[in-house]
């Protein structure tokens, strides 16, 4: 298990704040060990650092009141959505109060004519799309897990549809947030563009709760496509599959999804979902548009794939078959765990320029083989983002050390080719050491912004960069 340093605790302040909040929130404040550890939960190998209490506010005003109390006594505040983040974002290294936003889960407003909506942070992406379906609209960001929209905004989430629809930074029009002193601010309007001052929306989107707690989000929506077609195609090598991805993007085919699975990943999914896919590198694709349009897009891809050795190309518009393929993709994590029972999946990600994707994915495979690691690869290949998940026996110290060496090497590889150490997982605790290497003095500017907006360092401390002095 990766060890993350704890920060100094304000024991007196924490006790005082818990007593005050217990009077204010009553049964909505919890201090039981099990629920605290659940809210320090991390789905990777970073150790659990539980908060001292978990509070369930019901409104922005309550969040503001809670943060004002914490600010008065210099007690940390850690926002929590559904706990699906991967780099220790919800840990409490200095203790403090976890704000669980799951009860703030209302869809507040839908403006169908303007293709936007306003939601509270506890609404999950699946719940929102269920709510929107009858209106002929959908929200496209799909990170795989049924994450909360507040958490997705805080970590600048992405996912399988990003190649066509962008990431959270492209689909959040404005947020309401409670800052470190309890002030409530709104960062924008429903207008599709603005030149009015600093772009505070994008400052808060991706800030991982270190600047403020997002309590409301205005989102861009899209019309449900007239036709949707899914396709699959196998390739002799990962390099050939990545070359097909590059060619599709360069040809300007408006593919909605294009996912890469390496041989190990395909084998794991076959074992988990009984799909019977050829156990070679695979691309899963989805095309959105008119009936004629998706047929044309699929045809162009089929021609490109054929020239690069692709085989078994199949496209389907049948919802049942499409859903079967994509459910298997979304169940990749569980398929990996079944592939090596008892192992811990140590998920990491990187994002590189499209032209370097084949080189980097191939290098990642070779490096894992050199270290003797089983490390399935799956990626949102259309934007150069790929995920590697070494399956590690956590009782084997040597194997754990190799996995740590591997994940570090992967981040440095991505940075060296002009990419990033994380395309969508975020920095959290796990990737702090690579941020300065990637961005240089820009990291110092980030810490200066943090110090200006949160001088007492109570907002999710110990995340993104080293603690402030």
| Category of 190 on φ-ψ map: left (φ > 0), alpha (ψ -120 to 50) or beta | alpha
Q: What's residue 469's pLDDT?
A: 42
* pLDDT cut 90: percent of the chain above it: 86
Non-local (6+) Cβ contacts of 405 within 8 A are 371
For tokens 């150490």, the residue is 421
At 468 the pLDDT is 46
Query: Rounded distance, CA 206 to CA 186, Å?
Result: 16
Sequence-separated (6 or more) residues with CB below 8 Å from residue 415: 421, 434, 437, 438
Single out the residue of 171, 106, 169 nearest to residue 140, CA to CA.
171
Q: Is 151 strand, coil or helix? A: helix
* Residues near 1 by beta carbon (within 8 Å), at least 6 away in sequence: 45, 46, 47, 394, 400
Q: What is the pLDDT of residue 467?
A: 54
Is the CATH number of domain 250-416 3.40.462.10? Answer: yes
> For residue range 159-207, what is the model confidence (pLDDT) as tens digits?
889 999 999 999 999 999 999 999 999 999 999 999 999 999 999 999 9
Q: How far apart are the first and last CA of the chain?
A: 27
CATH 3.40.50.150 fits 107-223, yes or no: no
Closest by Cα among 305, 298, 299, 301 to 281: 305
In the 8-state DSSP scheme, what is residue 424? S
**Phi and psi torsions of 285, nearest 5°:** -130, 160
For the beta carbon of residue 34, count every other beta carbon within 10 angstroms: 9
The torsion angles phi and psi of 395, rounded to 5 degrees, stand at -90, -5
Q: Is there a contact between 369 and 335 (Cβ–Cβ < 8 Å)?
A: no
Show pLDDT as tens, one digit a residue, over the chain (469 residues).
556 777 999 999 999 999 999 999 999 999 999 999 999 976 778 889 999 999 999 999 999 999 999 999 999 999 999 998 889 999 999 999 999 999 999 999 999 999 999 999 999 999 999 999 999 999 999 987 889 999 999 999 998 899 999 999 999 999 999 999 999 999 999 999 999 999 999 999 999 999 999 999 999 999 999 999 999 999 999 999 999 999 999 999 999 999 999 999 999 999 999 889 999 999 999 999 999 999 999 999 999 999 999 999 988 888 888 888 888 888 898 999 999 999 999 999 999 999 999 999 999 999 999 999 999 999 898 899 999 999 999 999 999 999 999 999 999 999 999 999 999 999 999 999 899 999 999 999 999 999 999 999 999 999 998 654 4
Tens of pLDDT along 288-317? Answer: 999 999 999 999 999 999 999 999 998 888
Q: CA 424 to CA 217: how far, in whole Å? A: 19
The vertex-276 CA angle with 163 and 377, nearest 5°, equals 40
pLDDT at 224: 95
Token duo for residue 421: 């150490």
The class of domain 11-102 in CATH terms is: alpha beta
Provide the residue ranges of all domains of the chain, joining segments of one domain with +.
11-102, 107-223, 250-416
Rounded CA separation 295/2 (Å): 48
Output the CA–CA distances (angstroms, integers) from residue 189 to 70, 202, 208, 220, 352, in the order listed.
29, 13, 22, 12, 33
The count of other CB atoms within 10 Å of the CB of residue 20 is 18
- Whole-number Å distance between alpha carbons of 449 and 100: 25
Q: Taking a C-beta distance cutoff of 8 angstroms, is the pair 379, 404 a contact?
A: no
Q: Residues 100, 39: contact at Cβ < 8 Å?
A: yes
């Amino acid at each position: 298990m990766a060890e993350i340093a704890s920060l100094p605790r304000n024991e007196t302040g924490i006790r005082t704040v818990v007593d005050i909040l217990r009077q204010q929130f009553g049964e909505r404040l919890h201090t039981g060990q099990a629920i605290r550890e659940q809210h320090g939960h991390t789905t990777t190998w970073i150790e659990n650092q539980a908060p001292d209490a978990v509070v369930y506010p019901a409104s922005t005003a309550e969040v503001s009141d809670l943060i004002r109390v914490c600010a008065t006594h210099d007690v940390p505040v850690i926002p929590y959505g559904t706990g699906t983040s991967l780099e220790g974002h919800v840990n409490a290294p200095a203790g403090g109060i976890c704000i669980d936003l799951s009860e703030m889960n209302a869809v507040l407003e839908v403006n169908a004519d303007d293709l936007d909506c306003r939601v509270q942070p506890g609404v999950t992406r699946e719940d929102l799309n269920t709510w929107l379906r009858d209106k002929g609209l959908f929200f496209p960001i799909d990170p795989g897990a049924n994450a909360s929209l507040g958490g997705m905004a805080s970590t600048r989430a992405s996912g399988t549809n990003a190649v066509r629809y962008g990431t959270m930074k492209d689909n959040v029009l404005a947020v309401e947030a409670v800052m470190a002193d309890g002030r409530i601010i709104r960062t924008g309007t429903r207008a599709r563009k603005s030149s009015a001052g600093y772009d505070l929306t994008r400052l808060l989107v991706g800030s991982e709760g270190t600047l403020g707690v997002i309590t409301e989000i205005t989102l861009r929506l899209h019309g449900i496509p007239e036709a949707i077609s899914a396709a699959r195609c196998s390739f002799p090598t990962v390099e050939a599959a990545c070359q097909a991805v590059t060619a599709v993007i360069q040809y300007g085919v408006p593919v909605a999804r294009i996912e890469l699975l390496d041989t190990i990943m395909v084998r794991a999914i076959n074992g988990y979902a009984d799909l019977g896919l050829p156990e070679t590198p695979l691309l899963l694709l989805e095309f959105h548009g008119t009936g004629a349009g998706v047929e044309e897009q699929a045809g162009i891809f089929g021609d490109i794939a054929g020239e690069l050795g692709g085989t078994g190309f199949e496209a389907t518009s049948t919802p049942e078959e499409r859903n079967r393929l994509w459910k298997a993709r979304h169940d990749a994590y569980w398929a990996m765990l079944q592939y090596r029972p008892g192992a811990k999946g140590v998920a990491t990600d990187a994002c590189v320029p499209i032209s370097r994707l084949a080189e980097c994915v191939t290098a990642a495979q070779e490096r894992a083989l050199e270290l003797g690691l089983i490390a399935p690869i799956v990626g949102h290949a259309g934007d150069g983002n790929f995920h590697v998940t070494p399956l590690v026996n956590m009782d084997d110290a040597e194997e754990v050390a190799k996995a740590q060496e591997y994940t570090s090497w992967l981040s440095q590889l991505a940075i060296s080719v002009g990419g990033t150490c994380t395309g969508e997982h975020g920095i959290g605790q796990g990737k702090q050491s690579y941020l300065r290497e990637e961005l240089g003095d820009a990291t110092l500017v980030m810490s200066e912004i943090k110090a200006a907006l949160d001088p007492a360092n109570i907002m999710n401390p110990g995340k993104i960069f080293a603690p402030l002095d």
